[in-house]
Structure 1
Amino acid sequence: MVVCGDDGLAHRLAAELRTVYNEQVTLVVPPNVRTARPPVVGRARAASAALLDRVVSATVGRGNGNGGNGANAGNGGTGPVPGEGPRGERVLEAVEATEAVLAEAGVERAAALALVYDDDETNIRAALTARRLNPRLRLVLRLYNRRLGQHIEELLDQAATLAIGDPDGGGGDASTTVLSDADTAAPALAATALAGNGKLIQTDGLVLRALELPPGAGARQDDGQELFPLALLSPNNAGLDPAEGGGEEQGPRLLPDDAAVRAAGERGVLALEQVSSSAGPAAPGGRGVGVVPPLASLFSRRLRWSLAGLVACVVALAVALSVVTGIHPVRAFYYTLLDLLAIDDPALKESLGRQLLQLLSALVGLLLLPVLLAAVLEALGTFRTASALRKPPRGLGGHVVLLGLGKIGTRVLTRLRELHVPVVCVESDPEARGLAVARRLRVPVVLGDVTQEGVLEAAKIHRAQALLAVTSADTTNLEAVLYARSVRPDLKAVLRLYDDDFATAVYRTLRAAHPQAVTRSRSVSYLAAPSFAGAMLGRQILGAIPVERKVLLVAVVEVGGHPQLEGRTVEGAFRAGAWRVLALEGRQGVVAGEYVLRGGDRVVVAATRRGLAELSGRVPPTHPPDSLS
């Protein structure tokens, strides 16, 4: 496997392939350590931790300061420089994935190549080169532009088919998969920030949602619908990891059996429920969403009340004129309008009542002119500012404050609006890519540096239900959460943190300082890496479900060739702590536990990283197939 990238996702993906799937990996990274910082991965595994410690110690001893990848950072990045990495990993330093660099990395002999540079154009250029070098190569690209990704996927697949000479388009494993770390991580980040809204998993004919149930809720809902237990949460939702000294009993337990669920005690349960049998995506909506503003928003409330008062005066004058003169009400209303607009003859020969009513109508007409002028000016101003950023309205509460409108923040904003969640965004860059989306969705935005006093107050943080800090700067996210907690100690906070050690320290401290509040730290690369690794192995990963500091994968697996699944019932194929069969792909509704899995079936499974690796045959099974329950 070859992985090329310039940020933490490349290192995380390489570690995923190496430690979970036992793959030989060649990692191509730029020589600038500031753009390619390898995160600490697999801290819970003693062997991997010891190996990483030895690598870091050796790196410090050499004094090259390159983050432990073993490559020579002092060459200036003029060409590929091989280096030493963890066992099973070869590191090359190069500024770009040119043809020479890809050839040096062994793309011509590789089974799969992942291009996870932060720039779409760089990934596309390298993919075209790699497809020419090896038409049978399985390609995985990281692209933010969805529409462009679809076209590139079709183009590269067609190029592979023509190069291989297979008119039927078979091409073996020469597939192209375009993924986005933003699309993968955004649903999990949005679901973490909300209470009662779980992550949606969509497959052909089935929509499932992960829900966090309180202790003692059981495995059934009030309507009798059965739920799939995915994990037992830490006691009192503490979120302890085994590596933190709490042991396996204190940390979350993934894919427990029925006995463990019944004996959960004070543990909460993360379960999966069937939402519907239609896999259509949720349509964005909600009040105020769209390009054309609603009619009521064209005029202020004070102006609307003024117009309503004037209309009431006109009606009252028309009724009075009909009563005084005895004319028909319609004609009386017509005369009143003429008097109001001062285009009728004066009532010199009429009765005193008629003359007084004409004077009152003229007075109301004088009052109507400034009101009409104000209405026109306000309507023009509203249309002129319809494309401008909105400010948080007065009295807003129960919303989510979203900090950062970059790649991740934009996807999170779109997801929150699809769930009809009120959002207030905070962004310091007036040229951020997400401002156009916020303007289109008519979401209030506060422009300013969150580290300055008064910015979070302008976003109504004291009445918000959650703060979602997803900027690219760890210190900015941390400072925002700390300041928000000083205003609202019980505020739910979700941080996007890059470094694992820093995230663990922040998580422990915030949890200890504010035990009554919910704190979550999420890494985009940690959430996205399983999907990229599964695509490199030819697996269809539907999503990643975060469980405190762990993650569960939902994937599509072919039953044929897997003795752990083939010929067994759905209930019998379940393996506690490893995998659980959820449904048959293409079948409406969940699959019954007595159904016998056949070789031609494709099943949707929830699995741990290790469990999916065992199903893929990449690692030896922990227990022989005959010992499965």
Structure 2
Amino acid sequence: MAAVPRQGRTQTGVVGHMVVCGDDGLARRLAVELREVYRQRVVLVAPADEAEEQGGDLGGADTDTLSGAVVLPVHVETARAPTPAALLRARVNQAAALALMYEDDETNLRAALAARRLSPGIRLVVRMYNRKLGQHLEELLDQAALVSVPGADRAVLEASTTVLSDADTAAPALVATAIADTNKVVQADGLLLRAAERPVPSRGEVPDPGLCTLALLSSTAAEPAGFEGSDAGGTPGPELLPDDRTVRGATARGTVVLEAVRHEGPALPARRLARRGAPLGEVFSARLRWALAGIVAAVLALSVTTTLLTEADPLHAAYLTLLDLFSINDPAVDESTTRQILQLLSGLVGLALLPLLVAGALEAFGTFRTAGALRRPPRGLSDHIVLLGLGKIGTRVLARLRELDIPVVCVEQDADARGIALARDLGVPVVLGDVTEDGVLNTARVHRAAAFLALTSSDTTNLEATLAARALKSDLRVALRLHDDDFATAVYRTLRSAHPGAVTRSRSVSHLAAPAFAGAMMGRQILGAISVERKVLLFAALPVAGHPQFEGRTVAEAFRPGAWRVLALDTARPEARHPDLAHTGRDEQPSLLWDLHPGHVLHPQDRVVIAATRRGLAELLGPSPNGRVAATGHR
């Protein structure tokens, strides 16, 4: 067994290695992310068959030809399960962070409890699909860390456990792909942010600056944006976090700007048929309502006529009319002819009322019976998103799309699929049927849709559905989930060649989820990372206190070009702040202020969101209280 890599040293202190345990492709991708993006030493614990498949790609140190930084190797340990013995072989007691990435929630739960006993202060990242169980586990493990490490920094230990779901973390990127054709997204305080590449503006064109300019691309007016070999031939490489003067002077270079992901299509109608009740217009038909209104008008007319033609007062006249209407009054045999005629007319109106009451009861019963059934797509629906597959991933994507009020039509073959209940509760139209059969996609109105998301667990089903959807609408924006990377590359190139005018994206859940897990391993303050050609920008939430680069300075003064830039300010009170801005609850109100005035002074009690390079973030964080470098590799 090869030795675990020793802990390295930088100018900031001791760096512990990262341990990743898992039995599928997500663990492998996380190890690669930690190695290549954050420059961390990684030990991967995987079953023997998975380790043999991964070993060839993960071993061996090399050098990034663009930056000159050494990319460290990933050491692979074989273990059938994350037992305490396996964790000790990976030296988890000396590691900075541990990720438990098994598909089974129970396996991750058992391993997390064992790891907390072996290393009470270690940062834990646990993959769990069950949200409620994950929340309880997070609180339990943080409490265990507080008890096991007396006298340690309470704030650090209370944020030492992060429970994530690959479905939850991949959903924002899949949604962003369907809405804005990008997967370079960061989630902060419930807001989706994307790094949008802007080409060189035409003469006289005023480009949209977005929230801020993150980078200048290496392209010139004669080169495509994002050219990988841009350092060759004297062309400048990408410039991260440039100042405003540099941006204004770089008229021949594309830019990367930060902007919020928003849906530009039609919003959902105001009414909803969820479990909050149905409006009156959907309980009773228009014909029934008009008939009922006619009867009410007839009763009022009879009451007024009785008041005018008899000696009864208005209230007594209305009472007599209702008695006659329901046929419970005595016959007006000894009364005037006028009273007898009015009684007969009231009885005729009463005969018309009886079938209306029966019809109303039947309609209401039918409405409430079908309120829990699946809705069908409306005939006039257009510019919506067709979502294929309501499994683990599709369910989370559906929830996210509805949070953004985006019209969705779901297609699912299994009537007992995980997301069917959610679709029913949200009132989302669902087409039950095999997507490969004729007419299913037509029923989902694919020919009028804005985008198509194929998210089933079968690569062939996703591909077949994509080809069928493109046959109905050649310029349809498509994003399909594919597990095999080589297959995904071949599919993407073929579809792009066959439909050059349409947007085609192939997405792997492991590739989309790995950055979020990697950021959590580096610390909760890391919100995410976005690649700019072959460089990386990190997004982090940092307290102003303890950072002389921020404390007492204005936003403009705190900006260091090429190193870091303040993007937003957390306006919540310190005691009410969420420890993890990347994964706040859906019901919590946003607290980040993005439109900061350059003259705003940063105070010690503030918390800010910044964009930084690796080197800049390492300088800001410095040594953490427990002696390890907080949350960065060096560059």
Instruction: Show the counterpart of 1:535.
Output: 520
Matches within 5 A, 1:612-627: 620-621=634-635
Q: Is 1:401–1:461's contact at 8 Å kept on the other side of the alignment?
A: yes
The 5-angstrom pairing of residues 401-412 of structure 1 reads 401-412=386-397
Corresponding position: 1:582 with 2:582: no
1:190 aligned to which of 172, 175, 183 = 175
- 2:578 alignment partner in structure 1: none
Number of aligned residue pairs: 567
Partner SS for 2:76? strand
Does 8-17 or 472-481 show the bigger shift?
Answer: 472-481
| Structure 2 CA distance for aligned equivalents of residues 549 and 521 of structure 1 | 21
Counterpart CA distance in 2 for 1:100 and 1:454 is 56
SS of residue matched to 1:194: helix
Indicate whether 1:287 and 2:287 are aligned. Answer: no
Query: Please, which of 160, 163, 166 is the counterpart of residue 145 of structure 2?
Result: 160
Query: Quick one: which of 100, 107, 113 aligns to 1:128?
Result: 113
What's the counterpart of residue 18 of structure 1?
Answer: 35
Q: How far, CA to CA, are the matches of 2:421 and 2:40 in structure 1?
A: 42
| Residue aligning to 1:99 | 84
Q: Taking structure 1 as reference, are residues 174 and 580 closer, same or farther at Cα in structure 2, changes over 3 Å only?
A: closer
| One-letter code aligned to 2:438 | E
Cα distance, 1:342–1:601 mapped onto 2, change above 3 Å: closer
TM-score, normalization: structure 2?
A: 0.72
Q: Aligned ranges for residues 309-324 of structure 1 at < 5 Å?
A: 309-315=294-300
SS in 1 for 2:371: coil
CA distance in 2, matches of 1:312, 1:244: 81
Deviation at 1:113, TM superposition (A): 1.0
Q: Following the alignment from structure 1 to structure 2, what is the Cα–Cα distance between the partners of residues 487 and 438?
A: 25
Structure 2 unmatched runs, 5+? 1-17, 263-267, 573-591, 622-628
Decide which moves more: 187-196 or 570-579. Answer: 570-579
Q: Does 1:604 align with 2:589?
A: no
Given that 2:146 and 2:157 are in contact with CA atoms closer than 8 Å, whether structure 1 keeps it comes out as: no
Shift of 1:156: 1.6
Q: What secondary structure does 2:151 align onto?
A: coil
Contact 2:192/2:260, CA 8 A, preserved across alignment: yes
User: Which structure is richer in relative contact order (CA contacts within 8 A, separation 6 or more)?
Assistant: 2
Tell me, yes or no, if the aligned pair for 2:528 and 2:540 is still in contact at 8 Å. yes
Check the 8 A contact 1:5/1:117 in 2, yes or no.
yes
User: What is the rounded CA distance, in whole Å, between the counterparts of 2:28 and 2:607 in structure 1?
Assistant: 31
SS in 1 for 2:92: coil
In 1, Cα distance between the equivalents of 2:502 and 2:416?
A: 34
- Name 1:470's counterpart in structure 2: 455
SS at match of 1:433: coil
How far residue 114 of structure 1 moved from its aligned partner, in angstroms, is 0.4
Q: Is 1:494 equivalent to 2:494 in the alignment?
A: no
Matched, 1:459 2:444: yes
The alpha carbon displacement at 1:549 in A equals: 12
Offset, 1:350: 7.6
Deviates more, 1:402-411 or 1:190-199: 190-199
Which residue identity is paired with 2:440? V
How far apart, CA to CA, are the structure 2 residues paired with 1:500 and 1:244?
23
Determine the C-alpha separation between the residues in 1 that align with 2:346 and 2:253: 74
In 2 relative to 1, CA 14–457 (structure 1 residues): closer, same or farther, beyond 3 Å?
Answer: same
Q: Which moved more, 1:509-518 or 1:318-327?
A: 318-327
Matching of residue 218 in structure 1 with residue 202 in structure 2: no
Alpha-carbon distance between aligned partners in 2 of 1:173 and 1:367, rounded to the nearest angstrom: 70
Report what 1:2 is aligned to.
19
Distance in 2 (CA, whole Å) between partners of 1:573 and 1:551 is 21
Deviations, residues 336-361 of structure 1 (Å, cap 9, x unaligned): 44443333455667888877765555
Letter in 2 for 1:604: V
Q: Tell me which residue corresponds to 1:526.
A: 511
Q: Distance in 2 between matches of 1:415 and 1:599?
A: 35
What's the RMSD between the two structures over aligned residues? 5.0
Select 1:28's aligned residue among 38, 41, 45. Answer: 45
CA 1:338–1:253 in 2, change beyond 3 Å: closer, same or farther? farther
Code of the aligned partner of 1:227:
L
1:271 corresponds to: 258
Q: Deviations over 1:480-510 (max 9, x none)?
A: 2322222223333333333344334433444
Distance 1:476 1:341, change over 3 A: same
Q: Give the superposition deviation at 1:369.
A: 2.4
Task: Give distance in 2, aligned partners of 1:264 and 1:16.
Answer: 34
SS in 2 for 1:193: helix
Letter in 2 for 1:7: D
Residue 416 of structure 2 aligns to a residue whose secondary structure is coil
- Cα–Cα, structure 1 residues 38 and 104, in superposed 2: closer, same or farther, change >3 Å? closer
**Residue in structure 1 matched with residue 385 of structure 2 by the alignment:** 400
Match for residue 13 of structure 2? none
**SS of residue in 2 equivalent to 1:405:** coil
Are the equivalent residues in 2 in contact too, given 1:136–1:174 (CA < 8 A)? no
Percent identity over paired residues: 58
The residue that corresponds to 2:73 in the other structure is 88
Tell me if structure 2 keeps the 8 A contact 1:137–1:173: no
The correspondence for 1:118, drawn from 103, 109, 132, is 103
The residue number in structure 2 matching 1:78 is none
Q: Provide the residue aligned with 2:467 in structure 1.
A: 482
Q: After TM superposition, give the deviation of residue 127 of structure 1 in Å.
A: 0.6
Matched residues in 1 for 2:145 and 2:399: separation? Answer: 35
* Aligned ranges 1:134-533 → 2 under 5 Å: 134-166=119-151, 169=154, 175-194=160-179, 201-202=187-188, 209-210=193-194, 216-219=205-208, 227-230=211-214, 242=227, 258=244, 259-260=246-247, 270-272=257-259, 286-288=270-272, 290-296=274-280, 297-315=282-300, 333-345=318-330, 361-533=346-518
* Partners of 1:232 and 1:264 within 8 A in 2: no
Q: Is the 8 A contact 1:184 1:544 kept in 2?
A: no
Which amino acid letter does the alignment assign opposite residue 118 of structure 1? Answer: E
- CA deviation string 1:211-241 (max 9, x = no partner): 8698645345xxxxx73124679999x9986
Compute the displacement of 1:121 (Å): 1.5
Measure, in 2, the Cα distance between the counterparts of 1:510 and 1:454.
23
Partner Cα distance (2:44, 2:412) in 1: 34
Other structure's SS at 2:75 match: strand
In structure 2, relative to structure 1, the CA distance for the partners of 1:467 and 1:354 (3 Å cut) is farther
CA contact 2:19–2:95 (8 Å) conserved in 1: yes
* 2:479–2:504 contact (8 Å) kept in structure 1: yes
1:141 to partner: Cα distance: 1.0
Aligned amino acid, residue 475 of structure 2: D
Give, in angstroms, the shift of residue 4 of structure 1. Answer: 0.8
Q: 1:253 to 1:167 in 2, by over 3 A?
A: closer
SS in 2 for 1:108: helix
In structure 2, C-alpha distance between the alignment counterparts of 1:582 and 1:194, rounded to whole Å? 23
Distance 2:123 2:530 in 1: 25
Structure 1 residue aligned with 2:575: none
> Could you tell me how far 1:582 is from its partner in structure 2?
1.6
Q: Which runs of 5+ in 1 are unaligned?
A: 50-85, 221-225, 276-283, 622-629
Question: Aligned pair in 2 of structure 1 residues 229, 299: CA closer, same or farther (>3 Å)?
Answer: farther
Which residue identity lines up with residue 605 of structure 1 in the other structure?
I
Instruction: Tell me if structure 1 keeps the 8 A contact 2:477–2:504.
Output: yes
SS in 2 for 1:443: coil
